[in-house]
Amino acid sequence: MADWWTTDATHDPALTSWVESAQGHADFPIQNLPIGLFSPSGLAPRIGVAIGDRILDLRACADAGLLPDDLAAACRGSVVNDLLGLPADRRRALRHGVSGLLSDPAHRSAAAFLHAAADCTLHVPARIGDYTDFYVGIHHANNVGRQFRPDNPLLPNYKYVPIGYHGRASSIRASGVPLRRPLGQRKPPEADAPVVGPTTRLDYELELGVWIGPGNALGTPIPIAQAADHVAGFCLLNDWSARDFQAWEYQPLGPFLAKNFQSTISPWIVTAEAMAPFRMAQPARPQGDPQPLPYLLDPGDQAHGALALTLEAWLLTARMREAGGTPVRLSRGPATSMYWTVQQIVAHHASNGCNLNPGDLLGTGTISAPTSDGFGSLMELSIGGKEPITLPNGETRAFVEDGDEIILRAHASAPGRVSIGLGECRAMVMPAP
Amino acid sequence: MADWWTTDATHDPALTSWVESAQGHADFPIQNLPIGLFSPSGLAPRIGVAIGDRILDLRACADAGLLPDDLAAACRGSVVNDLLGLPADRRRALRHGVSGLLSDPAHRSAAAFLHAAADCTLHVPARIGDYTDFYVGIHHANNVGRQFRPDNPLLPNYKYVPIGYHGRASSIRASGVPLRRPLGQRKPPEADAPVVGPTTRLDYELELGVWIGPGNALGTPIPIAQAADHVAGFCLLNDWSARDFQAWEYQPLGPFLAKNFQSTISPWIVTAEAMAPFRMAQPARPQGDPQPLPYLLDPGDQAHGALALTLEAWLLTARMREAGGTPVRLSRGPATSMYWTVQQIVAHHASNGCNLNPGDLLGTGTISAPTSDGFGSLMELSIGGKEPITLPNGETRAFVEDGDEIILRAHASAPGRVSIGLGECRAMVMPAP
């Protein structure tokens, strides 16, 4: 189906909101309307929609009778899972309702349901049943593969299998929650045995997160042509990684403690509907690469399944903060560096009958551009720590240091369209316990 | 702490129940009292305790005022998570209360709260937030390692790191739920490219499951000396595996679709308290093996942290079933083939600050004995399919076939103690979709 690849009046670039701050807002103009879970100061979490620098309280809208019954019930949840589980046409109905409410000056009275975002706490929006991380950034796979396996960077399965592995759901935190530098085992190359201590090679990974919508029953694969119906929205994901732990522990069953100590997401779910104008053709595979296997190949997906999204990573060090400085950009690159589309990873995940549920989170894996100005991790930027990068204030970084804040951002843009953003994914590193 | 390693009156071998079928019951005598989630015919799931061939309805006990307030609240849950999250002393209080109720003939009126187990449906007892599978069966690691990496069966990290990886929580099902043979990619050795189809190397894995109790806050490791306080109980786990998918997909990030299509658990949680009489010393490591690193080494754990538990795998083929036959045993071996104790895998999992939550499930990984009569998977028994085993009725098996039912069982025994069991973990394989 995937008719959310089509645009409608909610995407009209001429549409404006009576919420003044929405006009020209870099992330949340009226064309976006992302869904999240927020607490106004001192109150319990509730579902809301970001508009400019405000948040619309959907529970209050439901209680005021502004939403049809099914949407009202889903919007009264203490997490967004029921909302994500709605069929795509009902999610779109919610978008249309909220768009009308916030654009038509006749509804200015709904200002009573707005909160200043700056006064609210944002939460992980869903109860994440399962979190899966993929590895679809082919330039990242090449860069990292070269460091772990110099003779064999890209394994023979890479161009056939959207490589993924299960991650830890419990340690996913919303933007703003600091993380502790983890303790763990690492084996220095010259040592006979591993040592235990704080990671010396803490890294970030710039990823896109994908929120699963309705999902499938156990034993029933999702055909690629229907995969888009199960993509509810997007966020940013920082898959914090301890590279020294990873190198020692990852064989034969994959990364574990190197990546499950904390992962940070941007708290707003930018819906699949909001992304409609920013759909684009999946870039052609390089000459000589195999065609995707039939269960991963769909003409609609090839024509519209990629995202015109630019991803960025920024760094604010303690010294920069103390000097009153602003973050510096570490990298910037397009989401088209994904070798597989979001729909392909969804179809692959369910191809063996594995059941996906509303509120499950998928990570794309680090998305690096082909050149170093778009590398999505310090491991790549510093070539495994061997060539530390120099920051404008003279500091250098091989890996992330205590007091550093990593900030991920992403914006979607297309000719004649109002650009939208995913909001910030930010966290500061605290010293080891 | 870990004072649940001590026995008390609830373990007295002379203790009997007024529930007649409990006496001499292979799994559920009064000394066991496992916790589960069951539906009496047509009714909503509720928490219960197995006693002989009956189930005691703990919600009904709570409603009848038979439990103190905190336990009553936890026992009214629609899943067991709150109960598992109670401190160990409160779990023990529940055990004492239920033991008294079911042993003292003065409480025979509680028979009104019993259901015939045969008339009930048993469910996955907890909402499993995260599921992690380990790899602590060293003979299994050697056997499988030899097939995947003939020159390098046991990797250098194995004796330092309790190797584990995250699994899929959504596809865990209770004993009795059939599974569909999954579709997926496999690459025949002689082919240039992978093919897609039903797995041709479906296997079972005989594992012990560990239910997590209170758990830890994110960023706060669990010291090994306290790890036992966070082990709420045990079950059996069949980690169904598609060996052909696994060989093709598992590098570099570990198993994914080869193992997440369905996992089967025995539905009863045999509590850590019930296992107290069956604690034993962890066998000494072979000469030349390194000592566990300090964060994994505790004298109490070494002295009492292993389990006197015998694990078995049985097979009932379609032909045997049609002939009115009974299952045949494929293997039998001791849980002491675990290279790491349950407490060591808990402490390791949380050592980087990763938060464990009540109702999380850990698998030990396949537990194989050193000799083939105790190998815990067909891949080992048939040496990678090369030497199919012959069953008493003349059938042969290299891997699991459609219509086969795999049944896992385990019993704990110790001198002078009443033996207890974990109940059955059983599932039948249905043809691919």
Q: What is the pLDDT of residues B389-414, one digit of tens each?
A: 999 999 999 999 999 999 999 999 99
**Predicted local distance difference test score (pLDDT) of residue B1:** 44
Does residue A233 have a pLDDT over 80?
yes
A285-301 burial, b at 16+ Cβ within 10 Å, e below that, comes to eeeeeeebbebbebeeb
Cβ <8 Å between B171 and A248: no
Place of tokens 């949407």: A71
A350: which chain B residues are within 8 Å (Cβ-Cβ)? none
B161: which chain A residues are within 8 Å (Cβ-Cβ)? 185, 194, 248-249
Cα angle A197, A130, B338 (rounded to 5 degrees) comes to 55
Residue A148 touches partner B, C-beta closer than 8 Å: yes
Cβ <8 Å between B352 and A149: no
Q: How confident is the model at residue A4 (pLDDT cuts 50, 70, 90)?
A: low
Q: How confident is the model at residue B293 (pLDDT cuts 50, 70, 90)?
A: very high
Region A310-320 average pLDDT: 98
**Predicted local distance difference test score (pLDDT) of residue A1:** 45
Does residue B2 have a pLDDT over 70?
no
A248: which chain B residues are within 8 Å (Cβ-Cβ)? 157, 161
Cα distance from B290 to chain A (closest Cα, Å)? 9
Cβ <8 Å between B165 and A221: no
Residue B57 touches partner A, C-beta closer than 8 Å: no
> What is the DSSP code string of B397-417?
ESS--TT-EEEEEEEE--TTS
Q: What amino acid is encoded at B384 in this protein?
A: G
**Predicted local distance difference test score (pLDDT) of residue B151:** 82
Cβ <8 Å between A196 and B293: yes
pLDDT, one tens digit per residue, over A177-221 is: 999 999 999 999 999 999 999 999 999 999 999 999 999 999 999
**Predicted local distance difference test score (pLDDT) of residue A142:** 94
**Predicted local distance difference test score (pLDDT) of residue A3:** 57
The residue count of chain B comes to 433
Element (H, E) at B122: strand B120-123
Residue A393 touches partner B, C-beta closer than 8 Å: no
- Which alpha helices (H) appear in A170-298, and where do they start and end? 243-249
Region A378-400 average pLDDT: 97
Answer whether B348's CB lies under 8 Å from B161's CB: yes
Residue A249 touches partner B, C-beta closer than 8 Å: yes
**Predicted local distance difference test score (pLDDT) of residue A162:** 98
Q: Which of residues 257-276 of A touch B (CB under 8 A)?
A: 257, 260-262
Region B260-288 average pLDDT: 97
**Predicted local distance difference test score (pLDDT) of residue A102:** 98
Answer whether A361's CB lies under 8 Å from A210's CB: yes
Indicate the burial class of B118 (C-beta count within 10 angstroms; 0-12, 13-18, 19 or more): exposed
Least confident of A150-159, A339-348, B13-22, B277-286: A150-159
How many interchain CB pairs under 8 A, A with B? 193
Does residue A151 have a pLDDT over 90?
no
Region A357-373 average pLDDT: 97
A180: which chain B residues are within 8 Å (Cβ-Cβ)? 219, 353
Homologous superfamily in CATH for domain B3-123? Fumarylacetoacetase, N-terminal domain (2.30.30.230)
Instruction: Kindly identify which residue of chain B lies nearest to residue A167, measuring between CA atoms.
Output: B166
Q: How confident is the model at residue A303 (pLDDT cuts 50, 70, 90)?
A: very high
pLDDT, one tens digit per residue, over B16-36 is: 999 999 999 999 999 999 999
Report the CATH architecture of B131-430.
Answer: Alpha-Beta Complex (3.90)
Residues of A with catalytic annotation? 140
**Predicted local distance difference test score (pLDDT) of residue B421:** 98
Cβ <8 Å between B163 and A249: yes
Alpha carbons A199 and B80: distance in angstroms, whole number: 36
Instruction: Kindly identify which residue of chain B lies nearest to residue A161, measuring between CA atoms.
Output: B249
A173: which chain B residues are within 8 Å (Cβ-Cβ)? 218
**Predicted local distance difference test score (pLDDT) of residue A18:** 98
Per domain, the residue ranges of chain A are 3-123, 131-430
Residue A180 touches partner B, C-beta closer than 8 Å: yes
**Predicted local distance difference test score (pLDDT) of residue A310:** 98
Region A107-114 average pLDDT: 97
Residues 6 or more apart whose CB falls under 8 angstroms from that of B70 comprise: B86, B90
Cβ <8 Å between B352 and A245: yes
Region B74-79 average pLDDT: 97
Residue A161 touches partner B, C-beta closer than 8 Å: yes
Quote the ipTM score.
0.97
**Predicted local distance difference test score (pLDDT) of residue B6:** 83
C-alpha dist (Å) from residue B355 to A262, B38, B130, B358, B377: 9, 28, 10, 10, 31
pLDDT, one tens digit per residue, over A26-77 is: 999 999 999 999 999 889 999 999 999 999 999 999 999 999 999 999 999 9
Does residue A2 have a pLDDT over 70?
no
